A and B are shown apart, each in its own frame.
Chain A
Amino acid sequence: MNTKWSKGFGALMLSTLLVTSACSGGGGGGNSPDNATNKPASGNVGAAEGGSTTLSIMWWGTDARHEATKKALDIYTKQNPSVTFKPEFMAWDAYWQKLPTLAASKTITDVLQMDAAFIQEYVSRGQLEDLSDIDLSGIVDPGVIENLKIDGKLYGIPLSQNAQGLAFNKVELEQFGIPLPHKDWTYDEFFQWARDARAKLPEGKYPIGDTTSWDGFNYYQTSMGKPPIMSDGGKTFTLDKELFMKFYGTYEEFRKAKIVPPAEKAAAFLENDPQADPMASGVLMTRGATTGSVSALEQLMPGKVGVVNLPVGPAGGGWAQSTIFLSVSANSKNKDEAKKFVKWFIEDKEAGTALGLTRGIPINPDVYASLEATLEPKDKIGKEIYDLSLDKALPFYSPAAGFSEWVDTYRKEMEAVTFAQQSIEDAFNKIDKMGKELAEKAAG
């Protein structure tokens, strides 16, 4: 054979193999434990042999949540010996990488945890079972249920109350003689508070953080009485230019006046990391926190964290509602058993005790009441955010189906603004153009 040829061919094969083999690595990442919870299931999942059922269930979360949930599953099996579980649990990222592949092969677990940010997408693809016929009276407030319905049907059983607020370093603010933020402060008050605080803080410390993500501005736009950026399932896209220029213009002024940290510093922040957390590191005096996440911050700086609701406008501000659910797969072979289980999950007191606050404030008031006496400060602070936010709360706005890339683009374009690499107007034009194109596509 011609040696030149064989070498060339060899080169091609070599590169093909290397590229493909390198791409095939990785994957997995989740835990599929064969532990005590997971009693050896006879037969396949779904095969009801001798009246026994194995429910597969999947959730994301922290270790504390994993342990608590496994305990709750054991309790269910104790109460219903014919039902065993095949649990799978992992972190947020891995979960949302795994779920679409399961959906593609129609093998989503019988029961699965769902998030408000994704539920619309999965409902619109027919992956979730209608749970409207589950009787939740006396467990969940009927108004809450109504709010969660998608096209008149309930696709996820709400697990907890959640809310978005602002955490602040109350010890240091007091130390520097800065007044603490008060409930229902307006955006104007918030901005003025930041300016005043700057004058009193030493160099290297900043009153507030910069903002580059879409939701930061969406809070502002909706609080001013304008529609959310994405509405109507992504078919309507509204980015108010006047408000956009004003909002980010203020932050531009703040960057110059060192009211917010320089972009280079902001890009290095890593929330809930002991050294790099914007607030726990002592750099920022405030940062966003939710009912479900603030306990992690409190543990990093015990006794120092105070909370307030997000700034409000004429229409209100922030949100306070359920964002995590349990859903049932539309392809499940054990729908009845699964429905029974999801109701039990929020109703049963024993389960409630085992689960604690690992998914936020339990949605069932009875369960919360029985937990209240034993709550630690880190748990109570989450409840405080919820209570402060409730009366002014606007709905929780999540990215519409198909907008995940737009969300990334928004952040990157605004990052370029914070690094002074492009003007606010240029960023607006790019973000607006992409959003409108997506809305057009969604409208078909």
Chain B
Amino acid sequence: MTIGVIADSKTRTQTKSMPVKEKSKRISGQQLAGYIFISPWLLGFLLLTLWPIAQSFYLSFTEYSLLEDPVWTGTDNYVNIFTDDATFTKSLSVTFMFVLFSVPLKLFFSLMVAIALNKNIKGMNLYRTAIYFPSLIGGSIAVAALWRNMFGLDGYVNQVLAWFGIEGVGWISNPDTSLGTLILLNTWQFGSTMVIFLAGLKQVPQELYESASVDGAGKVRKFISITLPMLSPVMFFNLVLGIIGSFQTFTSAFIITKGGPINSTYMYAMFLYEKAFKHYQMGYASALAWILLSIVALLTLINFAASRYWVFYESDGGKTK
């Protein structure tokens, strides 16, 4: 592909100076070398990524239990999903709720932490390390298990509430609060988003603040008119990643709530997983995966389309296009 194109264009420029016969030999040798150099990646991509993707697309039109060979069923899976599957609707709405709340919350929270950590205070590196450190074990099972203990009926949260005479609820065992608990967990896992914000903050030229100060701008003014616009590309990046990541939330729902109680935290990714590996409906699960991919791709496209109205690229001559 890219390599091939480069090789082609190169040979075109060389054609004049070379005898025809020898030329074709050298080209293929050159091309071959190129392909050999990228072959580890290329093979991995073709066999371990592209081929399974293609297979999953094929399987999404079949009924496949793993134990028996796939049976072609046309668009049955898709039709069933959209017309006759209450769990699909439920898990999709749970996931949308999750994304709707957890993404903005996480962006806001990690930005606030990043701003706090951008101050010039003695020992700031220590604070940064300490605050980022838990993120190293971020989305792991250990954190999910910890969350379960904290928000259990006899968990630490309720114990603390009890000091103030408040009788807590079973945060994760109550269908009204379980999803909120998972959103909270996702927000708390702000580490990597925060680091990206922090890097973005460091990029904001100090001159801008200085000249704004000279013009008499206050702190809020500087934040709104300098920090936010200068940070918008980073914000955009985090937003896109956050949405994609949230749509695939799996671990917390799987470990903490098992999707319950009564499907209140039955995330789309967990629904897909259970269809495939618990109920052995690989075809159906593949169709679900392609629907998820379409939704995420569509949202990402919308995001990019909307970005020109609010994302500010300095390199574009300082205007939001």
A residues sitting closer than 8 Å to B (CB atoms) are 7-8, 10-12, 14-16, 18-20, 22-24, 97, 100-101, 103-104, 121-122, 125, 127, 263-268, 275-276, 404-405, 408, 412, 415-416, 419, 421
- For A275, the chain B residues whose CB sits under 8 A away are 152, 154
- Give CA–CA (A22, B268) in the complex, Å: 14
Known A23-B248, A404-B278, A415-B261: A16·B297 in contact at CB below 8 Å:
yes
Residue of A nearest to B305 (CB): A8
Q: A97-B277, A405-B279, A415-B261 are in contact. Are A103 and B67 (CB under 8 A)?
A: yes
Chain B residues within 8 Å of A263, by CB? 261
Give the nearest-CB partner of A263 in chain B: B261
By beta carbon, the residue of chain B nearest A414 is: B262
Q: State how many angstroms separate the Cβ of A438 from the closest Cβ of chain B.
A: 11
A121 touches B303 (CB 8 A): no
Min CB distance B37 to A, Å, is 22
Distance between Cα atoms of A20 and B52 in the complex (Å): 10
Contacts of A14 in B (CB 8 A): 240, 244, 300
Check A104 against B261 for contact (C-beta < 8 Å): no
> Judging by beta carbons under 8 Å apart, are A267 and B154 in contact?
no
Q: Does A24 lie within 8 Å of B49, measured CB to CB?
A: yes
Roughly how many angstroms separate A101 CA and B245 CA in the complex, as a whole number? 27
Q: Given A8, A24, A127, which contacts B301 in the complex, CB threshold below 8 Å?
A: A8
Interface size on B, residues (CB 8 A): 43
**CB of B169 closer than 8 Å to a CB of A:** yes
The answer for the CA separation of A90 and B154 in the assembled complex, in Å, is: 31
B304 near A11 (CB under 8 angstroms)?
yes
Residues of B within 8 A of A (CB): 48-49, 52-53, 65-68, 152-154, 169-170, 172-175, 240-241, 244-245, 248, 260-263, 274, 277-281, 289, 292-293, 296-297, 299-301, 303-305
Task: Identify which of A15, A100, A404, A415 contacts B260 (C-beta below 8 A).
Answer: A415
Knowing A19-B293, A268-B172 are in contact, say whether A104-B277 is a contact too (CB < 8 A): no
28 cross-chain CB contacts under 8 A? A7-B304, A8-B305, A10-B304, A11-B303, A14-B244, A15-B296, A18-B245, A19-B248, A20-B293, A22-B248, A23-B248, A23-B289, A24-B52, A100-B67, A103-B66, A103-B67, A264-B169, A264-B173, A265-B153, A265-B173, A267-B174, A267-B260, A275-B154, A415-B261, A415-B262, A416-B262, A419-B175, A419-B262
- In the assembled complex, which residues on chain A have CB atoms less than 8 Å from the CB atom of B174? 264, 267
Instruction: Enumerate chain A residues within 8 angstroms of B280, measured Cβ to Cβ.
Output: 100, 404
Contact across chains for A268 and B152 when beta carbons are under 8 A apart:
yes
Residue with the highest number of chain B CB atoms closer than 10 Å, among A7, A8, A11, A122: A11
Residues of A within 8 A of B262 (CB): 412, 415-416, 419, 421
Contacting pair A19 B244 (CB below 8 A): yes
In the complex, chain B residues whose CB is within 8 Å of the CB of A421: 175, 262
Nearest chain A residue, comparing its CB with the CB of B178:
A267
- With A100-B67, A268-B152 in contact, is A18–B305 under 8 Å at CB? no
C-alpha spacing A408/B277, complex, angstroms = 14
- Check B278 against A101 for contact (C-beta < 8 Å): no
Asked if residues B66 and A20 are in contact (CB atoms below 8 Å), the reply is no
Chain A contacts for B292, CB-based, 8 A: 19
For A19, list chain B residues within 8 Å (CB): 244, 248, 292-293, 296-297
The verdict on A15 contacting B305 (CB below 8 Å), with A104-B66, A404-B278, A405-B279 known, is no
Assuming the A-B contacts A16-B297, A265-B173, A415-B261, are A127 and B67 also in contact, with contact meaning beta carbons closer than 8 angstroms in the complex? yes
- Chain B residues with CB under 8 Å of A103's CB are 66-67
Decide: B170 and A267 in contact? CB cutoff 8 A: yes
A3 to chain B, nearest CB (A): 9
- By a CB distance below 8 angstroms, the chain A residues around B153 are 264-265, 268
List B contacts of A15 (CB < 8 A). 240, 244, 293, 296-297, 299-300
Q: How far is the CA of A264 from the CA of B260 in the complex (A)?
A: 11
Cβ distance A7 to chain B, nearest Cβ, rounded Å: 5
| Chain B residues within 8 Å of A11, by CB | 240, 297, 300-301, 303-304
Not counting A100-B65, A268-B173, A404-B280, a sample of 8 additional A-B residue pairs whose C-beta atoms are within 8 angstroms of each other reads A15-B244, A15-B300, A24-B49, A122-B67, A268-B153, A415-B260, A415-B262, A421-B262
CB distance B53 to A419 under 8 Å? Answer: no
Q: What is the minimal beta-carbon distance from A29 to any residue of chain B, in angstroms?
A: 11
Top 6 A-B residue pairs of the complex, sorted by shortest distance between their CB atoms: A267-B173, A268-B173, A100-B66, A125-B67, A15-B300, A11-B304
Chain B's nearest CB lies how many Å from the CB of A391?
A: 36
A residues within 8 A CB of B53? 20
Other-chain residue from B48, B240, B279, B304 in contact with A8 (beta carbon distance below 8 A)? B304
CA distance A22 to B289 in the complex (A): 12
CB distance from A15 to the nearest CB of B (A): 4
B300-A419 in contact (CB<8A): no
Complex CA gap A11/B307 in Å reads 11
Which of chain B's residues have a CB closer than 8 A to the CB of A416? Answer: 262
Complex CA distance for A100 and B279, rounded to whole angstroms? 11
Smallest CB gap from B151: residue in A: A268
Which residues does chain A contribute within 8 Å of B263, judged by CB atoms?
412
CA distance in complex: A264, B279 (Å): 27
CA gap between A18 and B49 in the complex, in Å: 12
Docked pose: A217 CA to B260 CA in angstroms? 21
Residue of B at shortest CB range from A105?
Answer: B66
Given A14-B300, A16-B297, A275-B154, does the pair A264, B170 have CB atoms closer than 8 Å? yes
Q: Which of A22, A104, A415 contacts B245 (CB 8 A)?
A: A22
Residues of A near B300 (CB, < 8 A) are 11-12, 14-15
- Contact B245–A125 (Cβ < 8 Å): no
Residue of A at shortest CB range from B177?
A264
Find the residue from B67, B173, B277, B279 having the highest chain A CB count within 10 A: B67
Return chain A residues, CB-CB under 8 Å to B303.
11
CB atoms of A419 and B244 under 8 A apart: no
B173→A20 contact, CB < 8 A: no
CA distance A100 to B66 in the complex (A): 6
Q: How far is the CA of A100 from the CA of B276 in the complex (A)?
A: 10
Enumerate chain B residues within 8 angstroms of A20, measured Cβ to Cβ. Answer: 49, 53, 293
Residues of chain B within 8 A (CB-CB) of A412 are 260, 262-263
B279 touches A268 (CB 8 A): no
Q: How far is the CB of A232 from chain B (nearest CB, A)?
A: 20
Shortest Cβ distance from residue B149 to the other chain A in the assembled complex, whole angstroms: 8
A122, A267, A275: residue with the most chain B Cβ atoms closer than 10 Å: A267
